[in-house]
C-alpha cells in the first residue's frame, strides 16, 4: 500500500511527569484529557424506541457546533446482521434527521465492513436507498484510492508498522460516531465507541491486530488519529456474551450520547454489568479493561468513572442513571 506521511511527526509522544500519562500532540487536535474536576456530560435516555431515544438524547446536548459543517458519520456496519450486530436503520435515520435539523451543511456516511464486503453489507441494509431519501452521501472505504489513506507511524504505539486512517476522517469538519453495545469474542472483550475505529482502517491491517496480544491497546491507539464531536451508543439491545456479529442477546433499553469516547464506553460497560454479562466484563473494574486504561493514558477522554455527569429527560432515565452511577462508583 502506498503511504502518505504527514511532514510533522504526529506520533511524537510527550510523557508527562508525575502521573506518567502519555500526551499526544496532534495537528489541530488537542488531547482530550480532562482535569480531575471536569465532567463528561453524558445524555442518557431509558427507552426501547430508538428514534425517540436519539431525539431526546441529542436534545440534552449542545450541538450548535454542527451548523454549517460538513459532517462525516461513522456507523457500525461490521456485518448486515440485526442490531447489535450492526447499526439499526432507525438509529441512523433519526441521527441524520437531527443533524440536518441543526444545520449540517452536508452529511456523508463513511464505513468499511469486515469481514464481509462493504458494498454488499450496505446493499443488504438498504443504505443507498436511505441515503437518497434522507439526503446524505456514502463513502465506501474499501473503494477509496490509496492516496486517500493517511499513515500514522509506529513510534510510541503497539502497531509495528503504524496504522492508516482515511483522509475523509481527518479532513471532516464534524465527526459523528454511532456504535452498538456488545461484547467481542475475538480478543477485544467489548466493542463500542473506541473499537468502532477499527472500521476506519484498511482491511489488511485488521487481522494482524486481532492476532496481537496487544490488540486492546492497539484499538485505543487508533483513536489518537481523530476526535469525534458526537458519539451515540444504541443500547436498546446488547450482546452480553459472544459478539460482534452474534451472541447472547439481552434488552438494555438505553440510548447514550456525548462527546467523550472513553466516557461512552465506561457507561456502556456499566450497562453490561447492570444487565449481566460474561466474566471478562463482570470480573474486571471498568478502567482495568486494557482498552480503557490505554485510552485514559493517551488522554482520549476521562481517566476515572467519577468524571461522568449524566443528563436525563425524565424520572425513569434518572433512576436508571443512578443505578449506573452506583456501578461506575465501584471503578
Q: What is the pLDDT of residues 191-245, one digit of tens each?
A: 999 999 999 999 999 999 999 999 999 999 999 999 999 999 999 999 999 999 9
More confident residue, 2 or 186: 186
Please name the residue that has the C-alpha cell 454542527: 66
Q: What is the mean pLDDT of residues 72-83?
A: 97
pTM: predicted TM-score of the whole model, two decimal places = 0.90
Provide the pLDDT confidence category of residue 24 given band limits of 50, 70 and 90: very low
- Report the distance separating Cα 318 and Cα 154, nearest Å: 43
- Report the distance separating Cα 89 and Cα 83, nearest Å: 9
User: Does the pLDDT at position 27 exceed 50?
Assistant: no
Domains and CATH numbers, the chain: 4-328 (3.40.50.11440)
How many residues in the chain?
331
DSSP 64-103: GGGTTPEEEEE---SSSSSTTSS--HHHHHHHHHHHHHTT
pLDDT tens, position by position, 277-297: 999 999 999 999 999 999 999
Q: What is the mean pLDDT of residues 38-57?
A: 97
Nearest CA to 60 out of 43, 40, 38 is that of 43
Q: What is the mean pLDDT of residues 264-285?
A: 98
144 burial type by CB count under 10 A (0-12 exposed, 13-18 middle, 19+ buried) = middle
Q: What is the mean pLDDT of residues 5-9?
A: 30
User: Does the pLDDT at position 18 exceed 70?
Assistant: no
The chain-wide mean pLDDT, for the chain, equals 90
| Residue 57 confidence (pLDDT) | 98
| 210: CB partners within 8 A, 6+ apart | 186, 187
Q: Which three cell numbers stand for residue 8?
A: 510533522
Provide the pLDDT confidence category of residue 331 given band limits of 50, 70 and 90: confident
Q: Which three cell numbers stand for residue 193?
A: 465507541
Amino acid at each position: 500500500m502506498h503511504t502518505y506521511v504527514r511532514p510533522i511527526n504526529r506520533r511524537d509522544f510527550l510523557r508527562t511527569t508525575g502521573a506518567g500519562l502519555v500526551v499526544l500532540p496532534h495537528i489541530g487536535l488537542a488531547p482530550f484529557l480532562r482535569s480531575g474536576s471536569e465532567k463528561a456530560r453524558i445524555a442518557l435516555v431509558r427507552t426501547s424506541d430508538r428514534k425517540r431515544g436519539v431525539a431526546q438524547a441529542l436534545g440534552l446536548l449542545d450541538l450548535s457546533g454542527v451548523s454549517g459543517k460538513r459532517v462525516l458519520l461513522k456507523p457500525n456496519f461490521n456485518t448486515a446482521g440485526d442490531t447489535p450486530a450492526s447499526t439499526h436503520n432507525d438509529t441512523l435515520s433519526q441521527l441524520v434527521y437531527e443533524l440536518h435539523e441543526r444545520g449540517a451543511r452536508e452529511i456523508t456516511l463513511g464505513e468499511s465492513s469486515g469481514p464481509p464486503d462493504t458494498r454488499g453489507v450496505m446493499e443488504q441494509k438498504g443504505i443507498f436507498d436511505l441515503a437518497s431519501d434522507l439526503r446524505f452521501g456514502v463513502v465506501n472505504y474499501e473503494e477509496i484510492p490509496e492516496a486517500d489513506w493517511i499513515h500514522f507511524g509506529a513510534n510510541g504505539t503497539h502497531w509495528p508498522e503504524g496504522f492508516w486512517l482515511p483522509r475523509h476522517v481527518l479532513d471532516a469538519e464534524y465527526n459523528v460516531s454511532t456504535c452498538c453495545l456488545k461484547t467481542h469474542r475475538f480478543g477485544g472483550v467489548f466493542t463500542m465507541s473506541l473499537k468502532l475505529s477499527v472500521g476506519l482502517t484498511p482491511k489488511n491491517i485488521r487481522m494482524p491486530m486481532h492476532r496481537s496480544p496487544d490488540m486492546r491497546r492497539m484499538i485505543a491507539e487508533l483513536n489518537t488519529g481523530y476526535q469525534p464531536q458526537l458519539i451515540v451508543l444504541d443500547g436498546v439491545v446488547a450482546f452480553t456474551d459472544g459478539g460482534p456479529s452474534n451472541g447472547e442477546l439481552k434488552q438494555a433499553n438505553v440510548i447514550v450520547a456525548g462527546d467523550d469516547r472513553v466516557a461512552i464506553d465506561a457507561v456502556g460497560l456499566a450497562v453490561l454489568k447492570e444487565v449481566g454479562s460474561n466474566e471478562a466484563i463482570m470480573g474486571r473494574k471498568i478502567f482495568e479493561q486494557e482498552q480503557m486504561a490505554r485510552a485514559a493514558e493517551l488522554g482520549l477522554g476521562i481517566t476515572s468513572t467519577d468524571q461522568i455527569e449524566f443528563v436525563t429527560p425524565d424520572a425513569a432515565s434518572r433512576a436508571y442513571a443512578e443505578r449506573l452511577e452506583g456501578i461506575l462508583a465501584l471503578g
